[in-house]
Amino acid sequence: MMTGELTLVAANKTFGGWNKRYRHTSATLGCEMVFTIFLPPGASAESPVPVVYWLSGLTCTDENFITKAGAQRIAAELGLALVAPDTSPRGEDVPDDPDKAYDFGLGAGFYLNATQQPWSSHYRMYDYVVAELPTLIEQAFPVSDVRSVMGHSMGGHGALICALRNPGRYCAVSAFAPIVNPMAVPWGQKAFSGYLGLDRQSWREWDASVLMETAAERLPILIDQGDRDDFLDTQLRPEILQEVAARVGHPMTVRMQAGYDHSYYFIASFIEDHLRYHAEALKG
């Protein structure tokens, strides 16, 4: 299956730029995919802009961040493109959890490359967000190959592993309430067992707390975490990554935000901080 041409699904002008949603055939995932891109005012072939990739969490699509985070205003000011892919492959031929659980299958791709059937034929979100999608974006739009990555929850896990596994590919990485040690928490254990099999050794290459130990690049990390997040103690466990970072000397800032939960109200409250953090690195 070849990567198909882009089909425009929707376009809306906002803050002087354009929010556009596209559909295309993904050769990596073997299905049709959608993504949304925000292009700031002034983006052109003569003046390409850097890109921030946003990876969303469980149950989300490309639209959650675009419609709820309020990111376009500050991205327009800073001259940043935003790209938000879907969270998993989708379609009639794409397998889903037989119990329709929210934390496995459709909407829960976990940004890894599955090795177990029937998932391995489609669930290769890591290759899609690291390689296929950026190549497509950089060919089709007035953007540069200067890029960064961030995400929320499962998408925060995705952002961290993309950056830690690819030294030099991203200028910045940040996350909201990320799953930092999926091997040790229920969400990750369920996903890894299904997608990767029961050999826990194979899980290590998809766990930020393990990858940080031997990372070839010490790219600084910014994390925001709400202290009233219902998943803080059971699924997220930021203290585990903090312990690793302190031990190996990886630069990381974790900000515990009093009173905030796991929702997009939390993300919208601090998205400006994160975009300014990315802009400094992307344009520095």
d(CA 33, CA 5): 11
Number of domains the chain contains: 1
Residue 186 lies in a domain: yes
Which residue range is the domain that position 39 belongs to? 7-283
Residue 39 lies in a domain: yes
Residue 123 lies in a domain: yes
Residue 159 lies in a domain: yes
Residue 139 has pLDDT above 50, yes or no: yes
Provide CB contacts within 8 A for 180, sequence distance 6+: 156, 157, 160, 208, 209, 236, 237, 238, 240, 241
Average pLDDT over residues 175-182: 98
Residue 2 lies in a domain: no
Residue 1 lies in a domain: no
Tens digits of residue pLDDT in 154-169:
999 999 999 999 999 9
The enclosing domain of 115 has a CATH number of 3.40.50.1820
Q: DSSP code of 93?
A: T
Tens digits of residue pLDDT in 209-221:
999 999 999 999 9
Residue 1 has pLDDT above 50, yes or no: no
Hey, what amino acid is at 84? A
Q: In this structure, how many other beta carbons lie within 10 angstroms of the beta carbon of residue 45?
A: 7
Average pLDDT over residues 104-129: 98
Which residues are marked as active site?
153, 229, 262
Backbone angles phi, psi at 186, to 5 degrees: -60, -45
